[in-house]
């Protein structure tokens, strides 16, 4: 009989020889795992390529995109910063875009193109930012076609938005303006020729030369004057020939001839000399009617003149005018009698005091200014026509509600400001203005004391407000909100 123990050992030895090594089994498992992974990757690639199954949603356009408020053409599907200006991109719903003209925001359409007014390329409209604090309420505006603007702290800093408080206080009691010295028109004299002829001698031939009253300024040769002297001498001879006869009929004729010579510029001294010497003079002396400086010359020696020709203009500069420019918004504050202090650039360190003598009734349509006048005594002739300077006109101060002048946006058709209603929230508000100065403007209606208005960066806010308002109006016309009146959408309200 076979030994049972030996038989059992033999069977165990055979099973050990038939079982594969452990390393070989693990290699087989690894090969099957790699094969499964490759099969799964291939199946996933096929599904990804054909966009079916679980990968269909991955290729779908996200509902929310991000856009730069100042550069609407910058759009991406994730948060970030604008590569142009560095502002934070704001989210918006990935709906159909509207396009508008940067120069004419009222032109809005749902496809790219050109503006029918100016021909510029239309740009995508930047929709209203999705702010959690304003998500439940539509943006406000007190102007049609514009919307409230929301900015975060970073954008406020980058744009440089600054605000100032509306205050009630006394408007300045002083108006500063420019001053120009001119000759006193009431002290001007013109020298004219009284009869036709030629300038034989021009004794005053320089502009600015000083002349005295009665001084000979020119000699005029005239054939008519020669004929008039001959008539005078003939009348004189006739009177002497008829001296022994009764009636004295020659005296009226002689007096008429003398009067004719006076009218043509001869003095009584010259006429008496003519009667005594019986010599006809070929020229007549032209005398200055007043003392002063020559402002202008109209002739030279040898010039042919006719009756009425202006030979020269003479100005008495013992007193001069100072003409002040008044802007349109200052006209109502200046009255005759207001005191004026004048400083001239040609006389530094000196201040001349006077009063407003006259306010001109006409306005220059080109410069939108009118003129006022003050009178100065020109002691020593130091103040010269044409001098330029500055003037301060004392006016009555008035209590008013004022805002910085830089806060006002004036389009000509309307005037408005941006009011800060909260951190980063700005609302356009129409205002009515009164008096203005280069630093401040009087507010008659639209604002209250203590409100904050934007004084820097308001034009950038205005552009954003126009674009948001145009987009809101377009959306409201296409899809009216439930319960809302047609044509009124979020972000646009009528003027209050």
Residues 320 and 180 occupy one common structural domain: yes
Residue 69 lies in a domain: no
What is the DSSP code string of 333-353? G--TT-EEEEEETTSTT--EE
In this structure, is residue 109 part of a structural domain? no
Encoded tokens for 418: 């941006």
- Say what the pTM is: 0.52
pLDDT for the residue numbered 141: 52
Same domain, 467 and 407: yes
More confident residue, 450 or 20: 450
pLDDT digits (tens, 9 = 90+) for 8-47: 555 555 555 555 566 677 787 788 888 888 888 777 777 6
Among 308, 329, 353, residue at a domain's last position: 308
Q: Same domain for 291 and 325?
A: no
Is 124 a member of any domain? no
The answer to whether position 2 is within a domain reads no
Residue 476 lies in a domain: yes
What CATH code is carried by the domain that includes residue 240?
Answer: 2.40.50.100
93 burial class (0-12, 13-18, 19+ CB within 10 angstroms)? exposed
Indicate if the pLDDT at residue 139 is higher than 70.
no
Looking at the structure, do residues 388 and 416 belong to the same domain, yes or no?
no
- What pLDDT shows up at residue 69? 65
The answer to whether residue 263 is domain-embedded is yes
Do 214 and 293 belong together in one domain? yes
Mean predicted lDDT score pLDDT of the chain: 78
pLDDT for residue 88:
79
What does the pLDDT read at residue 134? 36
Residue 270 and residue 283 in one domain: yes
Identify which of 258, 312, 318 has the alpha carbon closest to the alpha carbon of residue 289.
312
**Spatial separation of the C-alpha atoms in residues 386 and 123, rounded to whole Å:** 54
Of the three residues 308, 333, 359, the one that is the final residue of a domain is 308
Q: What is the mean pLDDT of residues 246-253?
A: 65
- Residue 51 has a pLDDT of 61
Check whether residue 346 and residue 301 sit in a common domain.
no
Residue 108 has pLDDT above 80, yes or no: no
Q: Give residue-wise pLDDT tens across range 255-305.
A: 888 888 887 777 778 888 888 888 888 888 888 989 999 999 999 998 899
Residues 279 and 374 in one domain: no
CB 68 within 8 A of CB 85: yes
364: β partners: 369
Q: Print the domain residue range for 372.
A: 174-185+316-396
CATH for 445: 2.40.420.20
Of 100-114, 290-304, 402-416, the one with minimum mean pLDDT is 100-114
234 lies in some domain: yes
Over residues 37-91, the pLDDT tens digits come to: 888 877 777 766 666 655 555 555 445 677 776 666 677 777 888 777 677 777 7
Residue 28 per-residue DSSP state:
H
If asked whether residues 163 and 213 sit together in one domain, one would say no
The count of other CB atoms within 10 Å of the CB of residue 486 is 9
Check whether residue 421 and residue 360 sit in a common domain.
no
The tens digit of pLDDT for each residue in 360-380 reads 999 988 888 899 999 999 988
pLDDT at 217: 92
Largest distance between two CA atoms of the chain: 217
Q: Are residues 272 and 294 in the same domain?
A: yes
Number of domains forming the structure of the chain? 4
% residues pLDDT > 70 (the chain): 77
Instruction: Confirm whether 93 is domain-assigned.
Output: no
Asked if 253 and 287 sit in the same domain, the reply is yes
**Residue closest to 177 by CA, chosen among 424, 313, 369, 446:** 369
């Amino acid at each position: 009989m076979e030994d049972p123990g030996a038989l059992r050992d033999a069977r165990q030895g055979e099973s050990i020889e038939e079982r594969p090594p452990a390393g070989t089994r693990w290699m087989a498992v690894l090969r099957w795992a790699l094969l499964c992974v490759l099969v799964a990757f291939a199946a996933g690639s096929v599904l990804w390529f054909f966009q079916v199954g679980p990968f269909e949603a991955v290729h779908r356009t996200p509902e929310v995109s991000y856009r730069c408020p100042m550069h609407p053409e910058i759009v991406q599907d994730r948060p970030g910063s604008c590569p142009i200006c560095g502002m934070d991109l704001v989210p918006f719903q990935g709906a159909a875009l509207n396009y508008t003209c940067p120069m004419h925001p009222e032109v809005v359409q749902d496809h790219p193109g050109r503006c029918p007014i100016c021909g510029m390329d239309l740009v995508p409209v930047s929709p209203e930012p999705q702010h959690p604090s304003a998500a439940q309420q539509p943006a406000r505006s007190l102007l049609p076609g514009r919307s409230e603007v929301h900015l975060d702290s970073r954008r406020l800093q980058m744009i440089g938005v600054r605000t100032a408080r509306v205050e009630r206080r006394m408007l300045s009691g002083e108006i500063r303006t420019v001053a120009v010295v001119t000759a006193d028109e009431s002290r001007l004299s013109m020298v004219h020729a009284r009869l036709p002829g030629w300038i034989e001698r021009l004794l005053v031939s320089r502009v600015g030369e000083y002349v005295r009253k009665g001084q000979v300024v020119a000699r005029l040769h005239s054939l008519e004057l020669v004929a008039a002297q001959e008539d005078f001498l003939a009348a004189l001879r006739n009177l002497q020939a008829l001296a022994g006869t009764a009636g004295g009929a020659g005296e009226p004729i002689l007096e008429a001839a003398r009067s004719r010579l006076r009218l043509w510029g001869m003095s009584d001294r010259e006429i008496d000399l003519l009667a005594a010497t019986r010599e006809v003079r070929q020229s007549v002396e032209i005398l200055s009617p007043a003392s002063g400086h020559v402002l202008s010359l109209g002739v030279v020696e040898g010039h042919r003149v006719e009756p009425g020709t202006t030979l020269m203009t003479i100005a008495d500069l013992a007193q001069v005018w100072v003409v002040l420019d008044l802007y349109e918004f200052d006209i109502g504050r200046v009255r005759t009698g207001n005191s004026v202090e004048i400083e001239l650039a040609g006389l530094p360190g000196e201040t001349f005091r006077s009063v407003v003598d006259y306010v001109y009734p006409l306005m220059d349509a080109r410069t939108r200014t009118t003129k006022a006048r003050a009178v100065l005594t020109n002691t020593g002739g130091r103040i010269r026509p044409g001098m330029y300077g500055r003037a301060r006109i004392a006016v009555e101060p008035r209590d008013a509600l004022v805002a910085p002048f830089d806060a006002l946006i004036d389009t000509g058709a309307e005037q408005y400001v941006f009011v800060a209603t909260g951190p980063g929230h700005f609302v356009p508000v129409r205002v009515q203005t009164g008096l203005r100065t280069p630093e401040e403007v009087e507010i008659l209606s639209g604002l209250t004391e203590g409100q904050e208005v934007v004084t820097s960066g308001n034009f950038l806010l205005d552009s954003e407000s126009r674009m948001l308002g145009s987009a809101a109006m377009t959306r409201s016309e296409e899809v009216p909100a439930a319960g809302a009146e047609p044509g009124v959408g979020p972000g646009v309200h009528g003027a209050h």
